[in-house]
């Protein structure tokens, strides 16, 4: 019993000395609870919406007010033509497009059903399902209003009939694997790239080979870059295997440029690798490096929009997700694979990845220099 007590005391002393592990042990459960409690919602509200009102009448304004009042649609763009509506949805600026016909008032006065076209970006099936259900509910609500007004003896001129015709784009059959596979590709790359490089410097230090590298003529940036480049090839292999499985087995459509996909994947791989380098320069042991990598991995799954749309998250979590390379890569993959987007649409995501690469690589160099000193 005394020997067991001595071992227990020794372990608690070691845990207390390892302050980084101790902090992670207590902060990680709290962080996960906060994320699961606040950031995860399947009822997606405030979806960006583009409107083409060809009627410009009191009836059309009343209908748009109903959409806005539901809190499921935020009218951020007013289009002047149908191609402009299509372009907004194609680019991802808007998840929903609403087109009101020019003969709205005339149709209502004659008691005819008026088709209201609702275009929904179904590349994110969770958000699309929420938008479709809400649009259909608005149509039903307006129908109930018609019945009440008719029963109350109001004139037929006030009769309003709205036929919500929903068109789901990019994934009209709501095939789950189409929506999930691009995100899974990003998760695989994040997990392997961050974890591999997070242990790169720590492993050299633990093996005693870091000092041998430091006495060579290598500059800091050359050493860190040399740690990154071999794993870019590994990332290409993983990407190729994922695409072959997705296209060959699950029949995933590839509507965009394969060259653009690999080009922007390179940016994501490098961004993940540099993020792992930062962890490697901070960590003192490989165990700490793995624990810190997990701190990156969990938010990448939950906050990037891979499973739960970012629009449903509180602002603090939404802005936190801007710091994750995975956030931009999910948009890139779904844009190229499902929407067929080109670089003119995806350049904001590419620019964001370049900024993250620059900042994290400079931070890794600074931390590594301090480690040497």
Q: What is the pLDDT of residue 20?
A: 63
To the nearest whole number, what is the mean pLDDT of the chain?
82
Coil, helix or strand for 30?
helix
Task: Compute the residue count for the chain.
Answer: 373
Q: Locate 232 and state its tokens.
A: 């870019």
Q: What is the pLDDT of residue 124?
A: 83
Q: What is the pLDDT of residue 15?
A: 65
Q: What is the pLDDT of residue 314?
A: 79
Domain spanning 47-169: CATH 3.40.50.10490: no
Per-residue pLDDT tens digits for 239-253: 999 999 999 998 888
Judge whether residue 157 has pLDDT over 50: no
Per-residue pLDDT tens digits for 288-334: 788 788 878 888 888 888 877 787 777 888 888 899 999 999 999 99
Residue 208: left (phi > 0), alpha (psi -120 to 50), or beta?
Answer: left
Q: What is the pLDDT of residue 266?
A: 95
C-beta of residue 168 within 8 angstroms of C-beta of residue 132: yes
C-beta of residue 89 within 8 angstroms of C-beta of residue 127: no
Look at residues 314, 324, 316, 369 and name the one whose alpha carbon lies nearest to residue 349.
324
C-beta of residue 343 within 8 angstroms of C-beta of residue 260: yes
pLDDT band at 281 (very low <50, low <70, confident <90, very high): confident
Coil, helix or strand for 165?
strand
Per DSSP, which regions of the chain are E strands? 47-53, 73-78, 96-100, 114-121, 162-169
Contacts of 71 (CB under 8 A, 6+ apart): 45, 46
pLDDT band at 156 (very low <50, low <70, confident <90, very high): very low
The mean per-residue pLDDT over the stretch 254-282 comes to 91
What residue ranges do the domains of the chain occupy? 47-169, 176-372
Look at residues 151, 155, 116, 121 and name the one whose alpha carbon lies nearest to residue 136.
116
CA 217, chain centre distance (Å): 42
Q: What is the pLDDT of residue 315?
A: 81
């Amino acid at each position: 019993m005394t020997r067991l007590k001595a071992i227990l005391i020794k372990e608690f002393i070691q845990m207390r000395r390892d302050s980084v592990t101790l902090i992670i042990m207590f902060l990680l459960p709290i962080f996960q609870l906060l994320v699961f409690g606040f950031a995860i919602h399947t009822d997606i509200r405030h979806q960006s919406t583009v409107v083409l009102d060809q009627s410009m009448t009191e009836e059309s304004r009343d209908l748009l007010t109903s959409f806005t009042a539901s809190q499921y649609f935020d009218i951020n763009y007013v289009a002047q033509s149908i191609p402009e509506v299509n372009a907004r949805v194609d680019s991802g600026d808007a998840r929903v497009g609403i087109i009101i016909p020019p003969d709205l008032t005339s149709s209502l006065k004659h008691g005819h059903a008026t088709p209201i076209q609702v275009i929904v970006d179904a590349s994110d099936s969770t958000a699309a399902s929420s938008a479709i259900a809400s649009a259909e509910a608005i149509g039903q609500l307006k129908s109930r209003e018609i019945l009440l007004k008719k029963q109350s003896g109001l004139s037929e001129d006030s009769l309003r009939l709205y036929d919500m015709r929903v068109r789901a784009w990019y994934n009209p059959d709501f095939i789950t694997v189409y929506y999930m596979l691009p995100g899974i590709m990003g998760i695989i790359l994040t997990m392997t790239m961050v974890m591999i490089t997070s242990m790169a410097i720590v492993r050299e230090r633990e093996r005693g080979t870091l000092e041998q590298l430091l006495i060579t003529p290598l500059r800091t940036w050359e050493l860190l870059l040399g740690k990154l480049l071999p794993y870019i090839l590994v990332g290409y292999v993983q990407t190729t295997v994922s695409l072959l499985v997705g296209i060959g087995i699950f029949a995933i459509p590839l509507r965009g440029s394969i060259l653009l996909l690999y080009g922007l994947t390179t940016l994501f791989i490098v961004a993940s690798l540099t993020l792992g380098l930062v962890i490697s320069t901070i960590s003192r042991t490989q165990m700490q490096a793995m624990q810190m990598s997990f701190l990156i991995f969990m938010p990448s799954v939950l906050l990037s929009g891979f499973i739960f749309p970012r629009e449903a998250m509180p602002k603090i979590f939404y802005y936190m997700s801007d710091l994750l390379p995975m956030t931009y890569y999910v948009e890139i993959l779904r844009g190229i694979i499902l929407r067929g987007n080109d670089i003119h649409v995806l350049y904001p995501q590419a620019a964001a990845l370049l900024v993250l690469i620059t900042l994290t690589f400079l931070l890794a160099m600074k931390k590594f220099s301090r480690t040497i000193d």
